[in-house]
Amino acid sequence: MSFWSGLSAESRATFWRSLQALSGTRIVISLVLLAYLAFDRKDVPSAGHDLYTETCIAYLVMSGAFALACVYVRVRFLAQVVVQIAVDIAVISMLYMAAQEGRGSLVILYLFPLAGAAILAPRLLALLSAALVTLFLLIDAVYQAFAGVASMPITQAGLYGGVFFAIVMVVSRLAARLIRQEELAARHGADLKIQQAINQIVIADVADGILVVDREGRILAGNPAAQHMLGLANGDSGFALSEVPALEPVAFAFSEWRQQVGPLAGAARAAFVTVKPYRDSGGGDDGSAAWSGRRDLAAHLKLRFARVDTVDEASERCVIFLQDVTAIENQAQELKLASMGRLTASIAHEVRNPLSAIGHATALLAEDLHAPGQARLLKIVGDNVARVNRMVEDILQLSRKVQPNGEPLLLGPFLNELKAEFDETQGVADDIVWLGNTGAVPVRFDALHLREVVINLLTNALRYASGGVGSIRVYVVTDSAGGMELHVQDDGPGITPEVRAHLFEPFYTTSSKGTGLGLYLARELCLNNAAMLDYEYRFDASGFGVRAASGRFVISFAQPLGARGALGNGSNGNRKATT
């Protein structure tokens, strides 16, 4: 029983199934023997006919009993095997002695119990069975030789015995190897299940989101963190990222990564996207049904991508790692604001007053000096004084906690007036800035604050646009829930991922003439009005004539007062008050 006690539960179940198969085969053999008796009696003498019939019937009954026992009485496996093999050898031996002709065909039946013993019993027991059968054949051959019958020569009986021993050895070794392989597979399966359980615990508990998608961006699985970040209610899957408008930034970043070529494609740089909160569309079939789990603030996510090694491209899988860096960015900005707060007082006195004196002296010199070279130097001094003064003004403005005006604002008249003012002050043609849909619903935004934000975005767009007709586009997008977005877009080159990662950080600029505070101040003003400013890539046809993902600045206004899920009375306004 040592071999049986050392087996796993899976291997024991396999042995019981093999014994059931052996029992079923035994029933078939007993039926064949009875049919052989009915159709061909010439090999069975009349004296042994009754013994042959009774033996076959008894063998059929015992075969049925053995089959039931191995199904319903699963105890003492080795004992059942020994009893069944012993009965098989005894019955075949009785039939062998009862037959006078055609004994050679009955000898073949010994292969059935011997092979079963080699598979199901220890090797020593299987060899003992082969030895007993060989000994029986030799004794019978010797007896028949002395009796003068000589139905089977002694050499033939010995040859049968050698073949039986060889078959038992080969089958036993093969069975032992299969058992070891099954035991190894069972242990590996158990280890794999444990590892999978550990992985599930780790993946479910990790703060970063993990999303599994196919080559088309169709979501296959995601951990709870990813479901919360992307608003996948109850583990929704089976839809493509591009099918949900709110997830288009993630779809664009994934598409950009997929288009990369070369050995470094699998270790691409991180992408930063903004995923906005869900707004109920009233049950429309626009693919937003899966976007129902997230109703808080927009999240700024850092995305990393990795390919899974698969056998072919059709089964390709990719993993998207998501990290919510909103809190990290806010903390970094708070630290910078704290540093600026300590410097504000000294800047106001130690920088602004000398700066005013320099500007006044430059203006006086300009009245007396008229040479071209001197005028050029004075202009350089004046321009740099103005730049430094603008930086001081921006820093001082950041330190002021100006409360926004809560009066509703109609974007149509406001944007028309702002466009006319911008065209005049910047000296640009009337058709460069294209003003599209401005919406019919008032928004919650202070007019002075929104003017400063839009002027900043238009100035930035004018710096990079081509200057052609409609090269700068300003329009409003309204969803079915009443949420409004103001888009400012130009036909210049898009912002690279490296710049996008630091776009709204204070004092970060790519221009030698910039202060690095314009976009940061614009975002702060938006947050102060319960709105959100971000640079996004969108798949739409409202850009420049083609449906392609293009970058633009997007101001997401708060929901109108009284609307379901209004952000102004929720966490957005509270968050601004605490930062």
Structure tokens at 268: 């691409």
**Assigned domain for 198 exists:** no
**Assigned domain for 51 exists:** yes
**Assigned domain for 203 exists:** no
Q: Quick one: 331 and 303 in the same domain?
A: no
414-430 b/e (C-beta count within 10 Å ≥ 16 → b) = bbeebbeebbeeeebee
Q: Which residue in the block uniquely carries the two structure tokens 């039931």?
A: 68
Q: Quick one: 497 and 563 in the same domain?
A: yes
Boundary-marking domain end, from 292, 324, 356 = 324
Alpha-carbon span 416 to 328, nearest angstrom = 38
**Assigned domain for 199 exists:** no
**Assigned domain for 201 exists:** no
> For the chain, what is the domain count?
4
Q: Quick one: 392 and 336 in the same domain?
A: yes
Listing DSSP states for 420-462 in one string gives: HHHHHHHT--TTTEEE----SS-EE--HHHHHHHHHHHHHHHH
Check if the beta carbon of residue 167 is closer than 8 Å to that of residue 111: yes
Q: Quick one: 21 and 140 in the same domain?
A: yes
Q: Quick one: 284 and 378 in the same domain?
A: no
Q: Quick one: 456 and 523 in the same domain?
A: yes
Check if the beta carbon of residue 380 is closer than 8 Å to that of residue 506: no
Residue 232: DSSP 8-state: B
Q: Quick one: 557 and 568 in the same domain?
A: yes
Alpha-carbon span 239 to 387, nearest angstrom = 51
Q: Quick one: 71 and 165 in the same domain?
A: yes
Check if the beta carbon of residue 351 is closer than 8 Å to that of residue 388: yes
Boundary-marking domain end, from 291, 324, 357 = 324
Burial class (CB in 10 A: 0-12, 13-18, 19+), 168: buried
**Assigned domain for 484 exists:** yes
Q: Which residue in the block uniquely carries the two structure tokens 């002694």?
A: 154
Structure tokens at 495: 């912002």
**Assigned domain for 380 exists:** yes
Q: Quick one: 320 and 349 in the same domain?
A: no
Q: Cβ atoms within 10 A of the Cβ of 490, count?
A: 28
Q: Quick one: 347 and 319 in the same domain?
A: no
What SS3 class is residue 140? helix
Q: Quick one: 339 and 439 in the same domain?
A: no
What does the pLDDT profile of the chain (579 residues) look like in tens digits? 456 666 667 777 888 888 888 888 888 888 887 777 666 555 554 545 667 777 888 888 888 888 888 888 888 888 888 888 888 888 888 887 777 665 667 788 888 888 888 888 888 888 898 899 888 888 888 887 777 766 677 788 888 888 889 988 998 888 888 888 877 877 887 788 888 788 778 777 777 888 888 888 888 888 888 877 777 766 566 778 877 777 877 888 888 787 774 444 444 567 777 776 544 433 344 444 444 444 445 677 888 888 887 767 667 888 888 888 877 767 776 776 666 666 665 666 677 778 788 887 888 887 777 788 878 888 888 877 877 777 677 666 655 555 566 678 888 899 999 998 888 888 888 889 998 888 777 888 888 888 889 998 998 888 888 888 888 999 988 765 567 889 999 888 877 766 776 777 777 776 666 666 778 888 888 887 878 888 877 765 444 444 456 778 888 887 655 444 433 333 333 333 322
Boundary-marking domain end, from 338, 369, 400 = 400
Q: Quick one: 222 and 247 in the same domain?
A: yes
Residue 277, domain CATH: 3.30.450.20
Check if the beta carbon of residue 168 is closer than 8 Å to that of residue 114: yes
- Residue ranges making up the domain that contains 30: 2-193
Q: Which residue in the block uniquely carries the two structure tokens 């479910």?
A: 204
Q: Can you say how many angstroms the Cα of residue 168 is from the centroid of all Cα atoms in its chain?
A: 51
